[in-house]
């Protein structure tokens, strides 16, 4: 100790004194942060590390400022202590300003505390104006050093939380995150689905939702989120079928400024935006094998790397996926990775098509009637008994989405508050009993009724075109529509 540099000796003696006289230092838990100290004075680095490693989770040091770019690109630091002068007898601080600008160019989010052996307050103030978070004069008091680091970290984290919140809000605005109402359904098939949702929602298990187009997969995904512990956090929905291969990484994992021509600023990806919340990956069956590999890596490691960077960013998300494609068959055909399937389907939820939950059609129709009458500022409308019968017989190839659009169109087009069967222009594909003439169709009226309905549906409800194809007048067709309660 006698041959030790006076600077480091003062640090060590000061630390021993604090450990004996200030019990708070002994009981204080370590700050969960990663700190980098860059100073050409090896004694300063040793003294600072001896003291700070007792209070901060990770402390790295380096005497050579030329290593800064490499260090920042290969690791995530919350804070850096940066010396202002590295050349012998230099006091201008120019080197410090040079490296400060480089640091903030590489990582704008890092907190930088400037350190200098000279009490030049104007120099320190200029450093803060150019982007530094704070400054220290050396030799410093250990308690003041720790207090400065602690308060700076708290301020920096509050700033980052605000930036993350703004990023999430921006994503919500961009994707038009519209509220989804509660799940509508009392049929046996839907009660089984709701029972599964209730059980799995409170866990963080990955969920795979399977079902035809229009069955309400995103509604179920949002219900899982609302019933989870993450309900107060963000829900990010991503339509993988709408993202091209070239944009996949930048959209999901984000990018650094300059990563490509139009990358004018750092931007978080969907996974980062969903941090602490839930991310819903719809149409996951549309991903190519190379993109499946990239997604699998993120799911396994729980971190992302922005395009143009090598730094890993940890993400904590609840993963919910959905598809209408036969994933198990695709695995057998080599079109979908088996290991990815195992990762995303801890729990599977199979949504029944609307034709298998006909008991729910009256509930759904009334729900949509209420929504669209209110939306278009119309008096409340209801269904004629025969109208409901027709809706219940329809095959509904487009499922709930088709029903929703049919109700909306009927609300707009009908002049009456009681919706008749001919107010609904349904798709040509009917239920199985109407796909063709039944073998027992010996009744002429039954055959005529079926034919008229199919022709009207074929022309989207256009009475003139339907009458022309049937070879009768509009008046005759209207009489038959009334007669058969179509």
Which pairing describes strands 312-314 and 303-305: parallel, antiparallel, or unpaired?
antiparallel
Query: Domains in the chain, start-ordered, CATH in brackets?
Result: 6-156 (3.40.50.2300), 188-352 (3.40.50.300), 355-483 (1.10.8.60)
* pTM score, whole prediction: 0.61
Q: Which residues pair with 36 in a beta bridge?
A: 60, 80
Distance CA(414)–CA(407), nearest Å, equals 10
* Residue in 226, 238, 310, 300 with CA at minimum distance from that of residue 269: 238
* Residue in 41, 109, 45, 107 with CA at minimum distance from that of residue 73: 107
H or E element: which one contains 312? strand 312-314
Identify the weakest region by mean pLDDT among 232-246, 254-268, 366-380.
254-268
pLDDT tens-digit series, residues 417-469: 999 998 998 865 444 444 444 444 445 667 777 788 888 877 777 787 888 88
Distance CA(429)–CA(44), nearest Å, equals 80
Give the three-class secondary structure for 179: coil
Residue 88 confidence (pLDDT): 53
The dihedral over CA atoms of 339, 214, 186, 176, expressed in degrees to the nearest 10, equals: 90
179 pLDDT above the threshold of 70: no
Residue 11 confidence (pLDDT): 44
Distance CA(145)–CA(35), nearest Å, equals 13
Task: Output the DSSP codes for 199-268.
Answer: HHHTS---EEEE--TTS-HHHHHHHHHHTSTTTTS-EEEEEGGGS-GGGHHHHHHEE-TTSSTT--S-EE
Which pairing describes strands 318-323 and 278-282: parallel, antiparallel, or unpaired?
parallel
pLDDT tens-digit series, residues 26-35: 334 788 889 9
Residue 89 confidence (pLDDT): 47
Share of the chain above pLDDT 70, in %: 83
Count of C-beta atoms within a 10 Å radius of residue 407: 26
Confidence category of residue 12, pLDDT binned at 50, 70, 90: very low
Distance CA(191)–CA(351), nearest Å, equals 11
| Whether 413 contacts 405, CB under 8 Å | no
Distance CA(452)–CA(456), nearest Å, equals 6
For residue 138, what are the contacts with CB-CB under 8 A and spacing of at least 6? 44, 115, 116, 117
372 pLDDT above the threshold of 60: yes
3-state helix, strand, coil in the chain (%, to 5): 50, 15, 35
Q: Which residues pair with 136 in a beta bridge?
A: 115
pLDDT tens-digit series, residues 466-480: 888 887 887 778 778
Confidence category of residue 216, pLDDT binned at 50, 70, 90: very high
Higher per-residue confidence, 288 vs 7: 288
| Whether 302 contacts 315, CB under 8 Å | yes
Distance CA(478)–CA(40), nearest Å, equals 94
What the block records as the tokens of 435 is 């796909």
For residue 409, what are the contacts with CB-CB under 8 A and spacing of at least 6? 424, 425
Q: Which residues of 32-44 are buried (b: 16+ CB within 10 A; e: fewer)?
A: ebbbbbbbbbeeb
CA 94 to chain centre: 43
Distance CA(170)–CA(270), nearest Å, equals 11
> Exposed/middle/buried for 166, CB within 10 Å: 0-12, 13-18, 19+?
exposed
Residue 18 confidence (pLDDT): 46
9 pLDDT above the threshold of 80: no
pLDDT tens-digit series, residues 308-335: 998 899 999 999 999 999 999 999 999 9
* Residue in 180, 182, 206, 185 with CA at minimum distance from that of residue 353: 185
Q: Which residue has the tokens 């088996």?
A: 338
């Amino acid at each position: 100790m006698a041959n030790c540099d006076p600077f480091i000796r003062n640090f060590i003696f000061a630390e021993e004194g604090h450990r004996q006289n200030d019990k708070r230092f002994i009981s204080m838990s370590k700050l969960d942060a990663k700190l980098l100290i860059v100073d050409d004075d090896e004694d300063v680095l040793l003294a600072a590390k001896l003291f700070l490693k007792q209070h901060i989770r990770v402390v790295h040091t380096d005497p050579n400022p030329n290593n800064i770019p490499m260090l920042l690109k290969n690791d995530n630091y919350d804070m850096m202590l940066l010396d202002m002068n590295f050349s012998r007898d230099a006091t201008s601080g120019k080197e410090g300003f040079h490296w400060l600008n480089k640091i903030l160019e590489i990582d704008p989010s890092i907190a930088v505390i400037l350190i200098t052996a000279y009490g030049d307050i104007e120099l320190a103030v200029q450093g803060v104006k150019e982007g530094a978070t704070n400054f220290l004069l050396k030799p410093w008091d250990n308690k003041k050093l720790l207090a400065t680091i602690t308060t700076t970290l708290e301020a920096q984290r509050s700033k980052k939380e605000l930036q993350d919140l703004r990023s999430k809000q921006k994503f919500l605005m961009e994707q038009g995150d519209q509220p989804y109402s509660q799940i509508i359904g009392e049929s046996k098939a839907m009660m089984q689905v709701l029972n599964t949702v209730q059980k799995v929602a409170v866990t963080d298990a990955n969920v795979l939702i399977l079902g035809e187009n229009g069955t309400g997969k995103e509604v179920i995904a949002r219900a899982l989120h609302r019933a989870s512990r993450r309900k107060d956090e963000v829900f990010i929905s991503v339509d993988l079928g709408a993202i091209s291969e070239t944009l996949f990484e930048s959209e999901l994992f984000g990018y650094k400024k300059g990563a490509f021509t139009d990358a004018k600023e750092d931007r978080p990806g969907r996974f980062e935006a969903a941090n602490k919340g839930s991310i819903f990956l719809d149409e996951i069956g549309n991903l190519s094998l190379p993109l499946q590999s990239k997604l699998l890596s993120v799911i396994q490691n729980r971190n992302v790397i922005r395009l143009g960077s090598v730094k890993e960013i940890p993400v904590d998300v609840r993963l919910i996926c959905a598809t209408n494609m036969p994933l198990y068959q695709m695995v057998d055909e080599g079109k979908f990775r088996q290991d990815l399937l195992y990762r995303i389907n801890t729990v599977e939820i199979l949504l029944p098509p609307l034709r298998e939950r006909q008991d729910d059609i009256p509930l759904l129709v009334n729900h949509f009637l209420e929504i669209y009458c209110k939306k278009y500022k119309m008096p409340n409308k209801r269904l004629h008994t025969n109208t409901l019968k027709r809706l219940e017989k329809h095959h509904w190839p487009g499922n709930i989405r088709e029903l929703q659009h049919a109700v909306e169109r009927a609300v707009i087009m009908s002049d009456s508050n009681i919706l008749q069967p001919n107010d609904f222009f349904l798709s040509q594909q009917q239920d199985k009993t109407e796909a063709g003439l039944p073998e027992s169709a010996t009744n002429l009226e039954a055959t005529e009724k079926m034919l008229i309905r199919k022709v009207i549906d074929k022309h989207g409800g256009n009475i003139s075109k339907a009458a022309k194809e049937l070879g009768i007048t509009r008046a005759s067709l209207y009489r038959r529509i009334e007669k058969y309660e179509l």
